[in-house]
Amino acid sequence: MQSVHGGRKVAARRDHVTADLPSRARLSESSRSRFDARRHIMAFFTHHVCRGLSSSAVRNVAIKHLTVIGGGQMGAGIAQVAASTGHSVTLVDTNGEILKKAVKGIEGNLKRVAKKKFSDKPESGEEFIQKALQNVSTSTDAAAVVQGSDLVVEAIVENLKVKQDIFSGLDKLAPAHTIFASNTSSLSITDIASSTSRLDRFAGLHFFNPVPVMKLVEVIGTSATSQETLDCLLNFSKVLGKTPVSCKDTPGFIVNRLLLPYIIEAIRMYERGHGSKEDIDIAMKLGCGYPMGPLELADYVGLDTMKFIMDYWSAANPENPSFAQSESLNKLVAEGKFGKKTGEGFYKYK
């Protein structure tokens, strides 16, 4: 998915959205407000040491070592950023070849960063690269590494069952203080967390693509996530050089909840004949300073992905008009016109 943030355009992909499943355990209104009030009794912390005020196991946790599960584009990016900010990281994937490729990618990225950051001091640049690389190790066995981890960040395939299986296995092995976080963009954090017994130490940590470039991290708390856990993740995100925002476990968190309905409404305007697709795109580019218009953006994201997300959301929230079906989106997807990746969507691509 393409995110428009601070006037920049950034590529993100497929399932870059969170959905709120109907099965989510919910608190009553009064329990929620008691819970929120408790949350506001802020814990405090220094640097990346979290000092909780409650008896939570997260008390005084320093994120020194993290396990990142999934060495794809997101996992490798998270590992790179964590390693270059002085954390020890173990990157886990299903086979050595993927991990080799991930580390090669990290090295290439670090070289580019060093070239820019230390243009007049190449030896400092080399030191930066070597230090960061020394902080990265790899493994195909998450169970073996998780015992030494303060934080597990999962960035694997977008499949609820697979994510639940991973977390449920690791829950039995990880130390009590270890925080679990998912980078999911389309699944309910509550549902993923339900496979574990550490509901208070489970949250969403939603990075944006490409991770080393994008400043935002959405820190998502479920109704069971403890304030200590959230504080720890907010602080950790800052230590990574990111700007975190706090989100509830609702469809799309903040960014995608605003972005998706915006794109869909633009598609509906086009369907109603309120403007040509070109004019709608030009209007939003020149009128709002966005790097891409909404229909261009839909093609870039992939119309199949857009439909997947909207179907998912509308099934979970059938009464919400923002998630209603779009005729032209359905038609283009049925014709196999998924946008840029297939050569045609709202526009044709050579």
Taking CB under 6 A as the binding criterion, the range among 32-40, 153-161, 227-235, 295-303 that sits at the site for ligand NAD is: 153-161
The verdict on 214 binding ligand NAD (CB under 6 A) reads: no
The verdict on 209 binding ligand NAD (CB under 6 A) reads: yes
The verdict on 168 binding ligand NAD (CB under 6 A) reads: no
Taking CB under 6 A as the binding criterion, the range among 11-19, 56-64, 294-302, 327-335 that sits at the site for ligand NAD is: 11-19
- The count of residues interacting with ligand NAD (CB under 6 A) is 27
**DSSP code string of 152-163:** EEE---S-HHHH
Question: How many whole angstroms separate alpha carbon 346 and alpha carbon 333?
Answer: 11
The verdict on 222 binding ligand NAD (CB under 6 A) reads: no
Give the residue among 349, 300, 347, 350 at the shortest CA–CA distance from 328: 347
Shortest Cβ distance from residue 140 to ligand NAD (Å)?
8
In the region spanning residues 254 to 313, those forming contacts with ligand NAD, defined by CB under 6 A, are: none
Distance of CA 57 to the CA centre of its chain: 25
Distance of CA 311 to the CA centre of its chain: 20
The verdict on 155 binding ligand NAD (CB under 6 A) reads: yes
Question: How many whole angstroms separate alpha carbon 219 and alpha carbon 244?
Answer: 6
The verdict on 166 binding ligand NAD (CB under 6 A) reads: yes
Amino acid in position 185: S
The verdict on 171 binding ligand NAD (CB under 6 A) reads: no
Give the residue among 82, 69, 63 at the shortest CA–CA distance from 134: 82
The verdict on 152 binding ligand NAD (CB under 6 A) reads: no
Closer CB to ligand NAD, 45 or 253, in the complex = 253
Alpha-carbon dihedral angle through residues 144, 146, 148, 151, given to the nearest 10 degrees: 160
Catalytic choice (3, 56, 135, 185):
185
The verdict on 50 binding ligand NAD (CB under 6 A) reads: no
Whether 185 is a known active-site residue: answer yes
Bridge partners of residue 314, in order along the sequence: none
Whether 186 is a known active-site residue: answer no
The verdict on 217 binding ligand NAD (CB under 6 A) reads: no
Catalytic choice (48, 65, 87, 206):
206
Asked if residues 341 and 305 have their Cβ atoms less than 8 Å apart, the reply is: no
Q: Which structure tokens are listed for 264?
A: 């869909």
Catalytic choice (3, 65, 109, 218):
218
In the region spanning residues 80 to 109, those forming contacts with ligand NAD, defined by CB under 6 A, are: 92-94, 98
Q: Which structure tokens are listed for 275?
A: 């403007």
Taking CB under 6 A as the binding criterion, the range among 149-157, 168-176, 218-226, 304-312 that sits at the site for ligand NAD is: 149-157
Shortest Cβ distance from residue 154 to ligand NAD (Å)?
8
The verdict on 229 binding ligand NAD (CB under 6 A) reads: no
The verdict on 2 binding ligand NAD (CB under 6 A) reads: no
- C-alpha distances (whole Å) from 214 to each of 62, 83, 218 are 24, 16, 11
The verdict on 75 binding ligand NAD (CB under 6 A) reads: yes
Question: How many whole angstroms separate alpha carbon 165 and alpha carbon 30?
Answer: 33
Distance of CA 228 to the CA centre of its chain: 20
Bridge partners of residue 195, in order along the sequence: none
Whether 218 is a known active-site residue: answer yes
* Cα Rg of the chain (Å, integer): 21
Options 5, 9, 13, 268; binder of ligand NAD; rule CB under 6 A: 13
Question: Both ends of the chain: CA-CA distance in Å?
Answer: 21
Q: Mind telling me the catalytic residues? A: 185, 206, 218, 256
Question: Which spans of this chain sit near ligand NAD (rule: CB under 6 A)?
Answer: 12-13, 15-16, 69-75, 92-94, 98, 155-158, 162, 166, 183-186, 207, 209
